[in-house]
């Protein structure tokens, strides 16, 4: 299992702030996005079509090539706009 979190506009677009997902083997962020995009609709749009989406694994920003291990906390969100 991994814990997924969605923030800001992404959270509203998906209608979810997060979930637990079955993730038995290590895999990349790209693979995870592909899996989520497979749900279709807004999921497909956001995880396949939104190039600006950012990812964090265990609260560190990572590129799409980063590995996600079972037990990790993975967050997806739009580019940040604080300050």
Partner 1 sequence: MTARVQEQDFDVGEEITRLRLQYPQAGAVVSFTGQVRDLNDGDAVSSLTLEHYPGMTEKSLAAIIEQARQRWPILDAVVIHRIGTLQPQAQIVLVVVASAHRGDAFAACEFIMDYLKTEAPFWKKEATPEGEKWLDSRESDQSARERWQ
Query: Mask: binding to partner 1, 30-69, rule CB under 8 A, as x and -?
Result: ----------------------x---x--xxx--------
Longest dimension (CA), the chain: 38
User: At which residue do the structure tokens 């990349």 appear?
Assistant: 28
**Residues binding partner 1: what is the number (CB under 8 A)?**
18
Q: How far is the CB of 38 from partner 1 (least distance, A)?
A: 25
**Torsion angle defined by CA atoms of residues 23, 27, 32 and 35, in that order, rounded to the nearest 10 degrees:** -70
75 touches partner 1 (CB under 8 A): yes
| Contacts of residue 14, Cβ cutoff 8 Å, sequence gap at least 6 | 6, 42, 43, 46
Tell me which of 7, 27, 37, 43 binds partner 1, using CB under 8 A: 7
Of the candidate spans 25-33, 37-45, 62-70, 73-81, the one that interacts with partner 1 by CB under 8 A turns out to be 73-81
């Amino acid at each position: 299992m991994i814990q997924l979190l969605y923030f800001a506009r992404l959270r509203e677009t998906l209608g979810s702030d997060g979930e637990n997902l079955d993730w038995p083997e290590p895999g990349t962020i790209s693979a995870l996005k592909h899996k989520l995009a497979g749900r279709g609709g807004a999921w497909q749009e956001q995880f396949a079509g939104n190039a600006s989406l950012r990812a964090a694994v265990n609260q560190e920003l990572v590129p799409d090539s980063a590995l996600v291990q079972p037990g990790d906390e993975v967050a997806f969100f739009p580019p940040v706009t604080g300050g």
